[in-house]
Amino acid sequence: MLPPQCAGKTGDALDQCVRNATPPVITPRIEAIEPKPDPRQPINCLLVLRPDQDFCIARNDALLECRDPKKYPDPNVCLDAAMKRLLPPKVADCSRIDKTQRNACGQRNKHFKECLADPLRYFICLGEKTARK
């Protein structure tokens, strides 16, 4: 594996020979890509606002149910049907929310309709929209 001109050399002489024999390689700059959250993963419903918890639990149940390949050979068909059957959350009355979460509740209501357009990505969408503020 050594370049022929480096045969028989050892130590610093070998190191310098290999460095001189190996042309520098220019590599393009690689930008890290932020991983996207998977909408088909269950989420911790204890971390969502109270008005969304029932929807969160039903969504997680649907996700887990549709993972059974014996019952549902095509999980996408199952999941699409399940998402249509779920009772969607409603606009929250933020005055009834704990004071520490009122701002988050207001942000949730602001982006509610837009995010509910895709029920599977609802929580991801809310997280993205409220994190920007």
Which residue intervals of the chain are DSSP H helices? 11-21, 50-65, 75-85, 102-116, 122-131
Model confidence, pTM: 0.70
Q: Which residues contact 63 (CB under 8 A, 6 or more apart)?
A: 40, 41, 42, 79
Residue 30's pLDDT is 84
The 10s digit of each residue's pLDDT in 87-117 is 999 999 999 888 888 999 999 999 999 999 9
Residue 28's pLDDT is 85
Give the closest residue to 21 by CA, choosing from 33, 39, 38, 7.
7
Residue 132's pLDDT is 60
Residue 60's pLDDT is 96
The 10s digit of each residue's pLDDT in 57-71 is 999 999 999 999 999
Number of C-beta neighbours around residue 119 at 10 A: 22
The 10s digit of each residue's pLDDT in 112-132 is 999 999 999 999 999 998 886
- Give residue limits of the domains in the chain: 1-30, 45-131
Give the C-alpha separation, 55 to 38, whole Å. 18
Per the listing, tokens 């409220």 go with 130
Residue 7's pLDDT is 87
Residue 107's pLDDT is 92
